[in-house]
Amino acid sequence: MFEETRRYVKTLGLPEGDLMDLPTSDARFPDGSTYRIEVPTVNSAEAVAALLETSDKLGITINRVTETYGMFRHTRQELREYCRLCNEYGAELLLSVGPRATYDTGATVLSPQGVRISYRLRGMEQVLRAVEDIKRGIDIGGRGFLIYDEGMLWLVAQMRKDGELPSDIVFKTSAHLGHCNPVSFKVLESLGADSINPVRDLQLPMMAALRAAVTIPIDIHTDNPPASGGFIRVYEAPEIARVAAPVHLKTGNSVVGAHGQITSAADGERMAKQASIVVEMVSKYYPEAKQTERGSSDLRIPVV
């Protein structure tokens, strides 16, 4: 079926369909690793400290910590503590842009149509404020930023290219953008994304097709809070690593209720334990997979 269309999309560098044969990806991170462990929704300095200290005790490496509450809702002192801790433990740090639809004065996001808007920015002033939020994050030492709006992604990537923002910063796009197919991924990559988080419920053949469309890392949830579906797919983590490499396996969110909430030290400890289960599963069922070692990620966090 659809052979003519399949032939055409192939000429554009796209897969001809979802890859039901689940091919093994031979792409890797720059250090040669297959996967990295990312823990999102780490929304207080206390949670970061507990996460990294507990992971150290458990003998596992957390490669990336992602804050999702919003930079402009944290004090500069707390953001500096994020940077200090991630620098000490050799973890990447992604800080989320604060201005977003749910923090705006518009009411549409609270209506049934709100799911279509997601966290996207309303009006040019909000875009400018979001850029300023990134500049604030850079000023305190941040080098990685979580983006919720495609237009803003294009703008800040252009600013990075033109020297208006530092050349060593990276941009990750959120699952809240709602992208879930290879064509959308190709667009996000062209706009300047350095890694992309698809929606959380994609199946393995769909993930394999995403990998066939882009070269940048993909960030895939292995567990989720109830607000995002609540599913836990740790037994799929080895196959996710195999077909989607290089991939950030996102874990730990199943211990909290929702994406944007403040998390505690106790939450951080539970996140580390959940991450240890994912590492266990990958190590057992896909032992060839290599995880990036502590302190060997590409994004170095300075302490200012």
State the number of CA atoms in the 13 A half-sphere of 64 facing the CB: 29
Global confidence as pTM: 0.95
pLDDT at 204: 98
Is pLDDT at 246 greater than 70 in this prediction?
A: yes
DSSP-assigned letters across all residues of 134-185: HHHHHHTT--EEEE--HHHHHHHHHHHHTTSS-TT-EEEE-GGG---SHHHH
pLDDT one-digit tens code per residue, 134-163: 999 999 999 999 999 999 999 999 999 999
At residue 42, the 3 state secondary structure works out as coil
DSSP 179-197: --SHHHHHHHHHHT-SEE-
Question: What's the Cα-to-Cα distance from 16 to each of 2, 7, 10, 121, 215, rounded to whole Å?
Answer: 10, 7, 6, 33, 17
**Hey, what domains does the chain have and what are their CATH numbers?**
21-285 (3.20.20.70)
Q: How far apart are CA 195 and CA 197, in angstroms?
A: 7
pLDDT tens for 170-212 read 999 999 999 999 999 999 999 999 999 999 999 999 999 999 9
Q: Does pLDDT of 239 surpass 90?
A: yes
Determine the pLDDT at residue 303: 55
Asked if the model's pLDDT at residue 300 lies above 70, the reply is no
Asked whether the predicted pLDDT for residue 277 surpasses 80, the reply is yes
Query: For position 103, what pLDDT does the model report?
Result: 87
**Tell me, what's the pLDDT at 137?**
97
In which element (H, E) is residue 65 found?
Answer: strand 64-66
Q: Which of 104-113, 258-267, 283-292 has the lowest mean pLDDT?
A: 104-113
Please give the single-letter amino acid code of residue 226: P
Share of the chain above pLDDT 90, in %: 87
Least trusted range by pLDDT, from 26-35, 68-77, 244-253, 254-263: 254-263
pLDDT digits (tens, 9 = 90+) for 105-120: 887 887 887 777 889 9
